Chains A and B, each alone.
Chain A
């Protein structure tokens, strides 16, 4: 059982927008604006898409955006494209006592 809860799957048609939720607790997501999101294509390494809840690394499309409310973070992908089909994982810092990071179980995005 993962520490953060994500829907197992979401889907959308090209051009549409989708949102993936990531629910944690007051000990992780709710306490720190240190949520990151990763995209993973089959057989490939994860790629950082969002950090500090809503910041995009250089080179990541502005179609990807992040937000947080309380214990739930969200990743929104607008203008869906075929290449967005992948698994998406959220991750949150969980405290300075252990520098532990906790991941969500992952969400499979299908572009219809």
Chain B
């Protein structure tokens, strides 16, 4: 069965950095596009970033462009999100999700990892 397990969240000061990981299993990871989606406390969902199956195509939401970097290691079945210059408004639960490239839905989600940006 498809499993996505995020890790790496925690408390970080404004301006700091954090690297999130997402371990995938139960499917051929290298065949699928992946995305990061976040949810601020008590708020709705916000798509953050997307990476193609090979890693050659990457997109970011305007809110994180220039600060966040998405990457993947297909040999390790892992997805990453490097977050730099963190702001209070980046505080959220971060989900990794399998992304269907043709029909653009997120068909499987991890359980999420909480990132708190506070001094």
A-side interface residues toward B, CB under 8 Å?
2, 34, 36, 38, 44-48, 51-52, 57, 89, 91, 93, 98-106
Contacts and interface: CB of A to CB of B under 8 A. Distances in A.
Contact of A57 (B46, B59, B107, B112): B107
Given A34-B103, A47-B109, A48-B105, A103 B46 contact: yes
Contacts of B57: 99
A34 B45 contact: no
A103 B106 CA distance: 12
Contacts of B108: 48
Contacts, number: 58
Interface in B36-60: 44-47, 50, 57, 59
Chain B interface bracket (under 10, 10 to 19, 20 to 34, 35 or more): 20 to 34
B52 to A, nearest CB: 9
A105 B40 CA distance: 12
A2 B47 CA distance: 11
B76 to A, nearest CB: 22
A46 B45 contact: yes
B78 to A, nearest CB: 18
Nearest to A2: B44
Contacts of A103: 44-47
Contacts of B50: 99
A103 B38 CA distance: 11
Contacts of A89: 44-45
A38 B35 CA distance: 15
Given A103-B44, A104-B44, A106-B44, A34 B107 contact: no
A93 B110 CA distance: 21
